[in-house]
Amino acid sequence: MFPLRLLALIFVSSATVDPSPEEEKEKQDDEEEKSRYDLVFMRGDLLEVPRTLFTHFGIYLGGGRVAHFIPDIMPVVSTNQFRLKQMVSNTRLILGVLAKAGSVRVDSVEDFAYGAEIILNPMDKMCSCAVLQGEEAARRAEKLLGDVAYSLLWYNCEHFVMYCRYGTVMSFQTFQFCKTVRKLLLSRGVAKVTAVLAACLLVYLRVLNTWSVLLAVLLPFLLWMAS
């Protein structure tokens, strides 16, 4: 954890600056402009934005604000509220994934979307669970605000929004990833290659005893049966 904190202090802290009066005024103007999103989204809506390698999810809270769960190293290395509220950079995100640290935070719709197209409530037709009331979904999201342990596979942004809107903790992205890995690793072709490699390794190392032969046969057999 210490190397990650050191990297964060070097690459993240150096990039933060105090806001100027002009920036503060622009921020106030933006707050008034964000209310227009209330005409498009309802409180408790699930928002989806496609990214390069994954899809990001959030819950709309109203007033142009979105609650979303994102990996972030900053809560581990700083307590400065201004730095914590700044938009999460790629450096902060990557270090957060490695450190398994994240936070449920509130950002503007613009910062959440990051220039991508927003898809509204895409899971309503995919999930078999009933959709909770919008107010209930938003309240669940607000109750979870703060630092949360992050897992790329077992608890990510999709798990968060699924709990808030449908009352279940699951991720279609994780399911699809595990399904793909299973097809790649647990296949008959992999079992055959493993058997050949194991036999070649035994001959090369000249280790032909009961236990080595058993292991060389058992691993390909398990892969074959699991395929």
Question: Rounded to an integer, what distance in angstroms lies between the CA atom of residue 189 and that of residue 181?
Answer: 14
What residue has token string 């622009």?
A: 26
- State both tokens at 106: 């509130």
User: Which residues are 59's β-sheet partners?
Assistant: 46, 67
User: Which residues are 57's β-sheet partners?
Assistant: 48
Q: Are 44 and 59 in contact (CB under 8 A)?
A: yes
**SS3 of 42, please?**
coil
Question: Rounded to an integer, what distance in angstroms lies between the CA atom of residue 221 and that of residue 216?
Answer: 9
127 among known catalytic residues: no
Question: Rounded to an integer, what distance in angstroms lies between the CA atom of residue 100 and that of residue 118?
Answer: 27
Which residue among the candidates 157, 164, 178, 200 is catalytic per the annotation? 157
| DSSP secondary structure letter of residue 73 | S
Question: Rounded to an integer, what distance in angstroms lies between the CA atom of residue 194 and that of residue 186?
Answer: 11
- Residues annotated as catalytic are 157
